[in-house]
Structure 1
Amino acid sequence: MFNLDRRRFLGLAAAGAVSTGSLLAGCAPGGAPGAGAPKPGGRLRAAFSGGGAAEVLDPHETSLYIEIARSKALFDKLADYGNDMSPQPRLAERWEPSADLRTWRITLRQATFHDGRPVRAADVLASYARITEPGGSRRAKSSLSVIDLPASRAIDDRTVEFQLKRPYAEFPNALATLGAYIIPEGTEDFSQPVGSGPFKFVSFEPGKSFLAARNPDYFDGPPLLDELQIVVTNDEAARVNALLGGQIDYANDLTLTSARTYESGGQIRVLRLPRSNFHGLAMKVDRPPFDRIELRQAMFHLTNREELVRSVLQGSGQIGNDIYGRGYRYYADHLPQRSQDLDKARSLVRRAGAEGMTIDFDTSDASTGLKEAALAISDQARQVGLNLNVRLGNKDTYWSDIADGSVLASYRSGAMPLDSHVSQRLLTSSTTNNTAWQRPEFDELYNAAQSTTDENRRAELYTRMQEQQFNEGGFVWWGASDWIVGAATKVGGIDEEAPANTLEWARFDKVWLA
């Protein structure tokens, strides 16, 4: 990491805005697709930010959006999230819980792997055993660890009976969680991966390019495309330039500046995928200085959410209220909306003994807005006597770097149900617990919520969990925004209502080229 000089950054940003603006003038509106009726054939070229040589094809190790897109092309899960964040059956044809919510029977649909083998109950059990194996930290581990795998069984090739360690009313959410992909039993080598997804593996060069071909036997119908190519372009302006120049057909994760510049033109389409991005910062609550609750609360009160939405999101977003998932099921919208209170923040800083303290504040270009938000928040903190030393990290390794090595970091999340947010990030057993929040009483509330079939009781328990986070937690969720992608006018079939991380996002098997 290296220190980011704010004045130098602002100068470069201003210069970049001028050159980019002149280049992007006159591009297409998102509401004027020119792809016509669906037709087969062709190669779609999609550009994403990447992770360099560290990128993997192992679907159980996915963490980057580009890795998720590749995994969706090659593999399937038992379920995935719909546009409303409800679990939708995929390889699972249906699921049935027992009355006590501790036994779930899953019936598999008829599907085959790319090598012709059928997808069996044994493959499901082996996949979940690999994800949850002791000592590992695979992404879906915390969500799937509720399963008592030794007690679970394959009733026949198409029926799995899961025994759970505790009642879990929202168990289908675990089946849909990121990284819970089904692979053939015994698979460990992913140099030429075999899945059951809509595309078959052709080639892969980490940090550069991935190529896959149409799977004619896909259970949900073969893709219209002949081939899918996913290329790495870490610079957003370069993604836009490539889209304008016809070198690519789809550009993931565009900035608000770029979107505003070209969505009123005619060369490309701008698609704003709703309820996709949640913006915040993460404080480690288990170590100085944020082991002091007063300092965490000072951060809540010094943050000017309106200014951040105006400057970082350029007015295209909603303010947050320091708890995740505004608008989602069980969201605690009764909590009073926080606004900046500098007097209260100064008082809390004094009570924490932190006046004049310098705190390293990690950020990166890994996702749009991370850097800009850190700079704005550091200015806000200066008003209450805190010096937040903004450090720009390696965008290829940022998320793994801040997992253990950062006390304060810019943060961003895609869409997921509140159940998944809690189970993956806020339980003692969570594998992506970036605030190091570990509270046995909080874990008990979550377990109680999953033990009841009473929706009102579950909502009450989620409310209590969110109240703890609102008052004492390590996340400051200051805003929410759309996910923005760009596409050539010849591209059809993109679902414009699909939040990032859901079934229909980056679902290239439903896309066609005019």
Structure 2
Amino acid sequence: MSTFRNRREFLALAGAAGTAGALALTGCGAGSGSGGGSVDGKAEPRRGGQLRALVTGGGEQETIDPHAEALAIDMARTKALFDRLVELDGNMAPVPRLAEKWEADADATVWRFTLRDATFHDGKKLTPEDVLFSFGRILDPKATNHFAQGLLSVIDLKKSRGVGRNTVELQLVRPNAELPSMLATLGTSIVSTRYSDPAEPVGTGAFRLKSFEAGRSFVAERFDDHWDGGAYVDELRILSAEADARGNALRAGEAEYGYEMTPTFARTAQADKSVRIVAAKGSTAHAIVMKCDQEPFTDPDVTLAFKLLADREKLVEVVLAGQGVVGNDMFGKGYQYYPQDVPQRKRDVEEARALLKKAGVLNKPLSIYTSSVASGFVEAATLFAEQAADAGLRVKVTRGSSETYFRDQLTKGVMGSHRSGAMTVPTYINDRLLTKSAFNASGWRRKDFDATFAKARSTTDEAERTELYGKLQRTVHDEGGLLVWGHPDWLNAVSSRVRGVKDAPPNTLDSARFDKVWLA
């Protein structure tokens, strides 16, 4: 048994785990917005109780190894147990966490991070050696599942060192003007030098582990010595549950937090006094990827034709129930380095048909590989297949396992469903659009693109760096295999008694911030 597909399966585990601290759902309320604003007015926080959070699971693929996190549920658990040196705010700017401040030399090859006074769950103080140990663990060449390994390969560990009791100096192999933002990405949490077994985490997070079973449950208790004051709730449970089960459990009072709810649930919840929706506007990206290293998408005219076939307004209206904005085949709409002056791509079936006819693609059957792993994937793939038929294309929708989809997608099919949470534009390019990117689902591999990216990342002049990133984004828009059709609102649901939840984009400091949540 892995992710719970219905309320009965969820109740079976909830009953076995106990219901101490469970709270009935009463009252009413609603909140929405963007940028991490509070939706709770001036209510005063109070301690006590149990918070049960439901997230899409991954079965036996789930982990609490903070350097191997790959699923949303892994990230939520990691955030409870560990801290990073730096986090991102709602505008994708780096903000201090375990690092109180930082500074770089003139060419951004040497960075110094001043550490705050923080304590690990085993009672030991955070030291520069813990930071260096953490980065060494991430960069271990034998640990190929460490998400940030490629990103942090810019650090020269042999030349990096601790300076005094609270400063770590990182020497880089090449200039990098964006190191703080890179340290705020997934897979960069700080662990203790005494950390050796993922089943026995030693972190500085606001919660300390009580139990974990992959695909089933996670229970943690408040860590009272947390440097940021500790959590308000006594106990946190993070459980695997599919979208329908999450919604049913929230309405029935069997959970207090539902992660990433569907637009349909959000619409129906408007009239439900037991729950409320917290929405971060347009803060994720949904796309169809075309593998540029496989026929027929080795021809840029073919990728352009598919982009011209998309009725983006219809996709947003139907798949997102209108809760989002149209995309323009680039990541990071509204973020730094997103070129706002690129005209919005419009649907043009006749031009698309002409391009496809010229390329000899019209009579060749194609398929989109998708899955129910994310809300809207199957629906968007199905609707786009219908839109492609307007140009005479035959596109079949095939479905894969939700538990292994993002890994399988890298090797299966020539098109696939794709999404991304909030991150900086450079991080997205680094992780998904370089020749050696681990998650290069569009098969985009160009040495000139890689070289321009390396130049941008090492450029300390912000205006020049912005110009270079704009060039990269325009290249992807014109020639790449990303059909970014929409930017959905980020929809989470809470019981009407939950307070302290902010409307923050995913992968930012205030997203899934269970240490700041309390029960009224």
Q: Identify whether the pair has TM-score above 0.5, normalized to the shorter chain.
A: yes
Per-residue deviation, 1:420: 0.8
Contact 1:27 1:263 in 2 (8 A): no
The question of 1:449 aligning with 2:450 is answered no
Q: Name which of 39, 55, 60 aligns with 2:67.
A: 60
Give a deviation string over 1:266-317, Cα, whole Å, max 9, x none: 2211111224221101111112222222211111111111111111111221
Segment drifting more, 427-436 vs 57-66: 427-436
Per-residue deviation, 1:34: 9.8
The question of 1:153 aligning with 2:161 is answered yes
Contact 1:60 1:181 in 2 (8 A): yes
SS at 2:80's partner residue? helix
Match for residue 23 of structure 1? Answer: none
Match for residue 122 of structure 2? Answer: 115
Contact 1:139 1:432 in 2 (8 A): no
The question of 1:169 aligning with 2:177 is answered yes
Query: How many Å separate the matches in 1 of 2:157 and 2:422?
Result: 28
Match for residue 418 of structure 1? Answer: 425
SS at 1:177's partner residue? coil
Query: How many Å separate the matches in 1 of 2:225 and 2:28?
Result: 38
Contact 1:33 1:489 in 2 (8 A): no
Query: How many Å separate the matches in 2 of 1:190 and 1:133?
Result: 15
Contact 2:232 2:518 in 1 (8 A): yes
The question of 1:43 aligning with 2:53 is answered no
The question of 1:388 aligning with 2:395 is answered yes
Match for residue 511 of structure 2? Answer: 505
Give a deviation string over 1:66-93, Cα, whole Å, max 9, x none: 1100000001111011111101111111
The question of 1:476 aligning with 2:483 is answered yes
The question of 1:460 aligning with 2:461 is answered no
Give a deviation string over 1:465-514, Cα, whole Å, max 9, x none: 01110111111111112111111111111112x11111100000001112
Change (3 A) 1:351 1:131: farther
Match for residue 144 of structure 1? Answer: 152
Change (3 A) 1:218 1:292: same
% identical equivalent positions: 44
SS at 1:285's partner residue? coil
Contact 1:146 1:166 in 2 (8 A): yes
Match for residue 439 of structure 1? Answer: 446
Contact 1:95 1:105 in 2 (8 A): yes
Change (3 A) 1:34 1:450: closer
Which aligned pairs between 1:218-237 and structure 2 lie closer than 5 A? 218-234=226-242, 236-237=243-244
Which aligned pairs between 1:477-492 and structure 2 lie closer than 5 A? 477-492=484-499
SS at 2:409's partner residue? helix
SS at 1:230's partner residue? strand
Per-residue deviation, 1:62: 0.7
The question of 1:429 aligning with 2:436 is answered yes
SS at 2:489's partner residue? strand
Query: How many Å separate the matches in 2 of 1:191 and 1:197?
Result: 15
Query: How many Å separate the matches in 1 of 2:314 and 2:297?
Result: 24
Which aligned pairs between 1:328-347 and structure 2 lie closer than 5 A? 328-347=335-354
Query: How many Å separate the matches in 1 of 2:233 and 2:269?
Result: 27
Query: How many Å separate the matches in 2 of 1:33 and 1:166?
Result: 45
Match for residue 189 of structure 1? Answer: 197
The question of 1:243 aligning with 2:244 is answered no
SS at 2:226's partner residue? coil
The question of 1:286 aligning with 2:293 is answered yes
Per-residue deviation, 1:258: 1.1
Query: How many Å separate the matches in 1 of 2:495 and 2:464?
Result: 48
Query: How many Å separate the matches in 2 of 1:376 and 1:28?
Result: 34
Give a deviation string over 1:113-161, Cα, whole Å, max 9, x none: 1001122211111211221222524211122111122221222332111
Match for residue 30 of structure 2? Answer: 29
Per-residue deviation, 1:404: 2.5
Which aligned pairs between 1:295-310 and structure 2 lie closer than 5 A? 295-310=302-317
Query: How many Å separate the matches in 1 of 2:41 and 2:495?
Result: 9
Amino acid at match of 1:198: A
Match for residue 13 of structure 1? Answer: none
TM-score (norm 2): 0.91
Match for residue 4 of structure 1? Answer: none
Match for residue 327 of structure 1? Answer: 334
